Amino acid sequence: MNQELFFTKTHEWVQFLDETTVRVGLTDYAQNKLGDLVFVNLPEEGDDVTAGETFADVESVKAVSDVYCPVTGMVGRVNEELLDHPELINSDPMEAWFAEIGEVSDKVELLTEDEYDELLSKGV
């Protein structure tokens, strides 16, 4: 599962850095729907997270959207660059990772890139 990229039905991407560590971000579809992002509320290092539950949120001018954690585990590093430059999520969604999560023990249903593309084309 090294470096493999997966997607969720709630439009997050999940990249496995190794068997039990992942990076999570928002997909291009998500950032496009959300519009210009102005702020990100990231979790803290050491936080416990649960698959399928909110672990972060993103703010646009007029709305807040929850970001759902694809896995159960513990938050390691967070991408503090996003705090000062939330616009990176819009410009470079696949590079703008939110957090690294370790000790991964459970996950939501993960889609391959093809399966995710199919989901989008069906009109999600």
∠ Cα 121 124 75 (to 5°): 110
Write out the binding residues for other proteins, residues 46-105 only, by CB under 8 A.
59-64, 86-87
Q: How far is the CB of 117 from other proteins (least distance, A)?
A: 25
E runs forming strands in the chain:
5-7, 12-18, 21-26, 37-41, 48-49, 54-60, 64-68, 71-78, 97-107
CA distance 91 to 75: 25
Closest contact distance (angstroms) between CB of 34 and other proteins is 12
Report residue 122 as tokens.
């069906």
Between 19 and 61, name the residue whose CB sits nearer to other proteins: 61
CB closer to other proteins, 22 vs 82: 82
Site for other proteins contains 28 (CB under 8 A): no
Please work out the total of residues on this chain that contact other proteins, with binding judged by CB under 8 A: 11
Amino acid at 90: N
Note the residues at the interface with other proteins (CB under 8 A). Answer: 36, 38-39, 59-64, 86-87
